[in-house]
Every structure is written in C-alpha cells, then in structure tokens.
Amino acid sequence: MNTDVSDFEQQLTAWRHDLHRRPETAFEEKDTSNYIAAVLTEMGLEVHRGIGGTGVIASLTAGNGPGVIGIRADMDALNLTEEAQHAYSSLNPGKMHACGHDGHMAMVMGAARLLTQRQHFNGTVRFIFQPAEEPGKGALAMLRDGLLERFPVDEIYGLHNMPGMPAGSFATRSGGIMASEDNFVIRIKGQGAHAARPHTSKDPLVIASEIIIALQTIISRNLEPGVPAVISCTELHTDGIRNAIPTRVEIKGDTRSYTPEVQLLLEERMRTISTAICGMNGAECTFEYTHEFAPTVNRAECVEWAVKAARNVAGDNCVDRNVRTMMISEDFGVFLQHIPGCFAFIGNGDDAEGSGNIPLHSSGYDFNDRILKRGAEYFAELIRIRLPG
C-alpha cells in the first residue's frame, strides 16, 4: 500500500464519501457491512460478518502479546432528508448520515490501514463495526450474539465527532460522560364533550397540562442540586377535534440521568404523580417507562491511555481531559457495562470553521473530512501505546 500522507487522506475521504452516499438505518446496514468487509479483507484482516445482525468484526494480530483492544465505530444513519448538496449526497431518499457515523467508520478503517502498515504493536486489535446505535439496540444485539465470547476484548475505545469543538481537538473525562435515556408514555382517558359544554367533560388536556407541569418538580424538589437529570415531555397526542374536547390524551417523552438510583426515582415519582392527578380528576391513567440507553461511564485508567494518545497526535493544548458531562446518550455505554474502556469526542469544527459547527441530527449536517486523518492516527497511537511492541 502507498504510505504517502496525501494518498492516505484521499483514501479516508473516498471511503467516507462512499459510505455517505448509501446511508442505511438500524439493522438494515447490509450494503454498509459489505463495503466495510471488502475493504478490511483487502487489507488482509480476519473478517467476520453478521454479528448482531449486520455488525462486522475484523481482527489484526502482531507479535505474540496476549492483550486485546477493541476499537468501535457505529454504522447506522438516520431517517432524515439531506438538505446540503454535495457530490456525495445521499442516494437513499429520506435517509442520511446526519450524525457522522460515515466518518467514524472511515476513521476506524483508516486506523486498520495504519496498523497493518506499521505493525508497531504487540497483541491483537478488534475493529468493531456496530449496527443500530441510533435506537440504542445494536451493542446489546452484538453482545447477545456472543461478541465477547467469540472475540474476547480486554478494553474498548470509541470516538464521536462533536460540532462546536475546534476541528481535530479531543475531549473526554473519567466516570460518566453521557447519560442514560429512558422513554415514557402517559395515557390519559377522560371524558370527551362538545367544546361549548366543558362542564360535561373530564378534560384530559387539562389533566395532561397539570401532569406536565408537576413532572418538572421531580428534578427541582426530589434530587439534590448538582445531580444531573432531565425530564422532557416531547409529544402530545389527542383524539379531539377543533370543537370537541378529547377523551384520550397521550404524553410522550424521555428522561436522562447517570445512575440506576436516579432512574428508579424518576420512574416511581412520574408514575405516582401521573396516577394521582388522573385520579383526582376522575380520569384513568396508564404509565409506561422503558430503559433505552445505558449511561456511558468511562474507566479512569482507560481515560489516561486515551488522553495520552490524543496528546501525542494533537498536542496538549488540543485535549480536554475533564469535559463537562452531557445529557445526550450513546449505545457505547452498553459495552462499558461489560468491559472497561473510554469514549471520547473529536471536534468537528467551531464557529470559525463554518459547516463543521452545524448540529448533529440536522438535515444540513456534514462530517468534516479534515479530521479523518487525526481520528485514524489517534486510534493507531492508542494501540501503539496500549500494546507496546
């Protein structure tokens, strides 16, 4: 393989653009899986497919060291229509890589190429390409499919681009870095009536409004200040019409937190408040609460290795080792419940760098090609220092 830097950057960009053109959503990543498997097979890696549905595992061993390090990339896209027009814009209507998973895959494939060429480590690297990160189902699917039994891993590392951070900078922290996500549905059955005769109703919209306001007191009056948690009501559906008070109202939303104890408190208080307010107003209540994403909790010793690797490739001034916790969620957290590891962010660009600052999950978002090489070098350096030759 050509080791010229410009050739490497062009290859990373070509991979990313190819993947961007053909976005596929959760557990449908068949073309994506085929593409990744073909690239890694051509490099000479041992490739296994169909792990957790469409997941791909590739292994590379150098020397006889016993250590095994996992590097993970997510594969799925989102059900969004791409707004920006590029030569590599999505060819799949209504789907786009709006979270940068195309860039994450390209960086991990780039790390595989660098490590294949350099062979400057002693041990085994697992390149883990995970499906269905967006709905929070893919990591568990891979684990249930025997990922760790079939392909043992001592530690695992991941990287996500972050708009708003300077391009190519890094950020991470020990302990919790991203929150859990739990979903809830509150169904209220009251009594509908003509809008002109509200006194004959048991108005579920008024009841729903009381519940939504009351839920906000859980954070402010049940949790110690400084404990991170969020309750967000995001959808309100009724069976009413303009001149008819509805009979049924459905409230949907999610909560974010960092510990099982807080998750349980939120669930119990939400159920109590919803049921009590409905009962007080003579309405029926059904409450559902489901756990979707685990919190992402970094292991302190793994953070040290990640910070060292990031500083080696980007310099001390481009690494934040104590970034503020975020209430967004990541399926990587499930892996960290089973094996130690570290998740970090790489800057996609800030205000001074134009499109790199467009938010994730936006129809105008695009991954910044200029950070591909740095991300690949970060992973390769992490392996070099973690599995020294």
- CA 318 – CA 343 distance, rounded (Å): 17
How far is residue 110's CA from residue 369's CA, in Å, rounded to a whole number?
13
Query: Within 13 Å of residue 242, how many CA atoms lie on the same side as its CB?
Result: 0
Q: Report d(CA 295, CA 167) in Å as an integer.
A: 26
**Contact residues for 57 (Cβ-Cβ < 8 A; gap 6+):** 47, 48, 51, 126, 127, 128, 129, 147, 151
Q: Compute the distance between CA of residue 185 and CA of residue 369 in angstroms, rounded to an integer.
A: 40
Check whether 250 is labelled as a binding-site residue.
no
- Alpha-carbon distance of 388 to 255, in angstroms, equals 42
Kindly report the number of other CB atoms within 10 A of residue 308's CB atom: 15
Backbone angles phi, psi at 254, to 5 degrees: -145, 165
- Beta strand spans in the chain (E): 46-51, 55-62, 68-74, 123-130, 155-163, 170-171, 175-178, 180-189, 193-194, 230-238, 244-245, 248-257, 284-293, 296-298, 319-320, 341-349
Question: What's the token pair of residue 342?
Answer: 């570290």
Residue 134, marked binder: yes
Q: 388: which DSSP letter?
A: B
Q: Are 33 and 142 in contact (CB under 8 A)?
A: no
- Residue 293: HSE in the Cβ half-sphere, 13 Å Cα cutoff: 24
Give residue for tokens 């169909």.
50
Rounded CA separation 149/242 (Å): 58
What is the Cα–Cα distance from 159 to 308, expressed in whole angstroms? 15
Distance CA 189, CA 205 (A): 10
User: 99 a known binding residue?
Assistant: yes
Return the amino acid letter for 370.
R
**Residue 120 marked as a ligand binder:** no
Residue set of the binding site for Mn(2+): 99, 101, 134, 160, 361
Residue set of the binding site: 99, 101, 134, 160, 361
